[in-house]
């Protein structure tokens, strides 16, 4: 059986003290076979996002070791920051990368939650694909009111966590864990400095689409009191028009599930819509790392048939124009290669 690979992206409520984050990542990397892919500290958010990959059980243990250091080092009673937060270790998502399915990642989240509650007395909620209640699928629904609200929330039966005590610990707060698909942040540049062009393209493609408007240009409100929308072309896609630099507008996107909406599909659609305004794409840009399968799917699309992995990667890079803003180094951009799989 091929090696299973899981990504975990724990968010810690500390973005200013490098010593604390170094201690957390050192503990996480003490687990054999776990690789650190990225550490993103944000001082204004006072939050750090750590990305690790490795075999399933090793990744769970790594997250637990990082949790222990975070709980020992971070005091939520004095924490401030711009990002919404509810605990010292705020959220711990598990994401399938290769040879593992979503159900298995849900089990990993449950394992983490159970162990974190047992070892540290931590209240843990399940969200996203691991959620057991509809009102806990979306993380913002759990976070509503943030850290400050949980002293009261935990006193209500409706807010009992899936794991751990319904007791508020002012130092640690609470944690959410779950399973979700990997998110690919992907941008496509056009040969224009007109952001309205990329805004219109994004609106036609993204899942949420655009607002319906009447003859006077006013948004149309439905019977439910909400603005009506015309859905976009793709599922699992967020998008907006941005400026890459003062001369280059881009379509900026998050692909929430590349198995449903792939890199090549949105790229081809952007080219189609850009041609209507006599524009062309000039570059594709990945923000962060991408799973190998997403690149191979695009390689097959642009090549027109299956081939060796290296050939497919080359065709994906060319087809998506990922080499136009700099060299595409697979060991730095593809998760499996960065993880040494």
d(CA 237, CA 229): 15
* Active site amino acids: 83
- Residues, the chain: 341
**Cβ-based neighbour number of residue 33 at 10 Å:** 15
Instruction: Spell out where the chain has E strands.
Output: 5-8, 11-12, 35-42, 47-54, 89-98, 124-128, 175-179, 184-190, 210-211, 229-230, 237-245, 248-255, 281-287
Name which of 73, 84, 88 is nearest 124 in CA terms: 88
Single out the residue of 59, 48, 50, 43 nearest to residue 96, CA to CA: 59
Distance, CA of 275 to CA of 253 (rounded, Å):
19
DSSP string, 61-86: HHHHHHHHHHHHH--GGG---SS---
Q: Largest Cα–Cα distance in the chain?
A: 63
- For the chain, the C-alpha Rg in angstroms (whole number) is 22
Please spell the DSSP secondary structure of 177-209, one letter per residue.
Answer: EEE-PPPEEEEEEES-S-HHHHHHHHHHHSTT-
Closest alpha carbon to 166 in 151, 179, 175, 154 = 154
């Amino acid at each position: 059986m091929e090696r299973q690979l899981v990504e975990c992206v724990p968010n810690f409520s500390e973005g200013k003290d490098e010593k604390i984050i170094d201690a957390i990542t050192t503990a996480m990397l003490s687990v054999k076979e776990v690789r650190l892919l990225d550490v993103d500290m944000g001082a204004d958010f006072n939050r750090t996002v750590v990305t690790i990959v490795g075999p399933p059980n090793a990744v769970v243990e790594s997250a637990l070791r990082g949790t222990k250091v975070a709980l020992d080092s971070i005091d939520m009673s004095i924490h401030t920051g711009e990002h919404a937060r509810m605990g010292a270790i705020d959220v711990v998502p598990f994401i399938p990368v290769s040879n593992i399915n979503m159900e298995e990642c849900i089990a990993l989240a449950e394992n983490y939650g159970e162990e974190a509650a047992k070892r540290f007395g931590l209240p843990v909620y399940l969200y996203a694909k691991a959620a057991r209640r509809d009102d806990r699928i979306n993380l913002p629904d759990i976070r509503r009111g943030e850290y400050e609200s949980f002293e009261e929330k935990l006193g209500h039966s409706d807010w009992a966590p899936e794991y751990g005590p319904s007791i508020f610990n002012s130092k640690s707060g609470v944690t959410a864990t779950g399973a979700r698909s990997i998110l690919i942040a992907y941008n496509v540049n056009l040969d224009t400095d007109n952001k309205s062009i990329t805004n219109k393209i994004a609106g036609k493609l993204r899942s949420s689409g655009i607002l319906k408007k009447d003859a006077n240009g006013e948004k149309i409100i439905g019977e439910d009191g909400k603005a009506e929308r015309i859905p976009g072309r793709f599922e699992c896609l967020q998008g907006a028009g941005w400026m890459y630099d003062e001369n280059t507008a881009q379509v900026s996107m998050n692909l929430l599930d590349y198995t449903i909406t792939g890199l090549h599909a949105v790229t081809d659609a952007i080219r189609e819509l850009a041609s209507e305004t006599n524009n062309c794409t000039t570059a594709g840009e990945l923000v962060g790392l991408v799973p190998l399968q997403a690149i191979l799917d695009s390689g097959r699309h642009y090549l027109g048939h299956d081939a060796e992995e290296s050939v497919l990667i080359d065709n994906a890079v060319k087809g998506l124009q990922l080499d136009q803003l700099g060299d595409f180094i697979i060991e730095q951009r593809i998760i499996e290669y960065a993880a040494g799989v």
